[in-house]
Homo-oligomer: A and B are copies of this chain.
Amino acid sequence: MTKPAPTVRELIRQHYSELTQSERKFAQALLENYPAAGLASITIVASSAEVSTPTVARMVQKLGFKGYPQFHQALRSELEAKGSGPTKRREKWAAEAPDSHLLNRFAQTVTRNIEQTFSNIDTGSFDAAVAQLADTEHQLYVVGGRITRSLADYAFTHFQAVRPKVTYLTASSATWPHYVLDMAAGDTLLLFDVRRYEANLERLAELAAERGVRLILITDQWASPIARVAHFSFNCWVEIPSAWDSNTSTMMLLEALIAATQEACWPETRDRYERLDALFDLTRLFR
């Protein structure tokens, strides 16, 4: 069984009575700004607590560390543990299944990907991209790669319901130039490109960018080369222990964009949904 590894904070409390005056001065400074005040070099840390370097060195040894680097390392480990701590780790996902069941392992990995994806979104860019997607004055084009084509398709289906002037660039890249023909400055192109990145897509992005089209790129954590010319790019963590990549986080980000766009386009969108429903009812009558 492994020992619980006491935190530096606990160690200080524990050894406080043995500490000398200067050492206590440093201990106070550290506790008042924990743990940041202990993460610099010993010289900086010492001078900002207004004690000498050897005082700090002696003290960390009293706490049981071999030297300052070990003390430093301990603080960092604590911080790291804390970083992954607040995220409520679900032990088991599928009810009565062991942790080792593929379902649980898969759920854990993908959840981690989702967390990473969302915590790395810049809300400013997100809002700006949504404003772009909600600009119904201009055309919105959607395109995806070999795998992400399905996501582009999903995006198209929903955006078409949310707003007018949406065009889906078909899977066959041979026809893409036809679409570029009609692209105008101010239009928006929503691209999906996860590895392995496709040269055709990149070329399309360049052509569109040259014509003043605003590019919104949804890519993976390693970033497609298109990121260079895109106005907004969003990175999705997609890696799973498998021969292919998981697009659950991609899907979730896409849906977030759709939800935000819908909100931005309200109430015109509500009107569209009502008309759409009416149309579905009509097709049912015909049958």
Given contacts A93-B119, A256-B103, A259-B106, whether A154 and B151 have CB atoms under 8 Å apart is yes
Question: What residues of B have a CB within 8 angstroms of the CB of A77 in the complex?
Answer: 36
A118–B91 CB distance below 8 A: no
**How many residues from A make CB contacts under 8 Å with B?**
94
Given contacts A28-B221, A102-B256, A118-B94, whether A157 and B153 have CB atoms under 8 Å apart is no
A33 CB–B CB distance under 8 Å: yes
A247–B256 CB distance below 8 A: no
From A132-140, A182-190, A237-245, give the one contacting chain B: A237-245
A131 CB–B CB distance under 8 Å: no
Of B17, B86, B248, the residue contacting A223 (CB under 8 A) is B17
From A58-66, A121-129, A207-215, give the one contacting chain B: A121-129
Closest to A95 in B: B119
Of B221, B227, B251, the residue contacting A248 (CB under 8 A) is B251
CB distance from A55 to the nearest CB of B (A): 15
Chain copies in complex? 2
Question: What residues of B have a CB within 8 angstroms of the CB of A158 in the complex?
Answer: 244
B247–A262 CB distance below 8 A: no
A24–B223 CB distance below 8 A: yes
Cα distance A124–B267 when bound, in Å? 46
A79 CB–B CB distance under 8 Å: yes
Closest to A78 in B: B36
A269–B255 CB distance below 8 A: no
A268 CB–B CB distance under 8 Å: no
Closest to A247 in B: B251
Question: What residues of B have a CB within 8 angstroms of the CB of A31 in the complex?
Answer: 116, 120
B161–A153 CB distance below 8 A: no
A87 CB–B CB distance under 8 Å: yes
Pairs A–B under 8 Å by Cβ, sample size 6: A17-B233, A28-B221, A92-B119, A103-B126, A147-B157, A251-B251
Q: 18 additional contacts, CB 8 Å, given A39-B39, A102-B263?
A: A24-B222, A34-B83, A36-B79, A39-B79, A92-B119, A95-B123, A102-B256, A102-B260, A103-B121, A103-B126, A106-B255, A106-B260, A107-B118, A146-B157, A147-B157, A154-B247, A247-B251, A248-B252
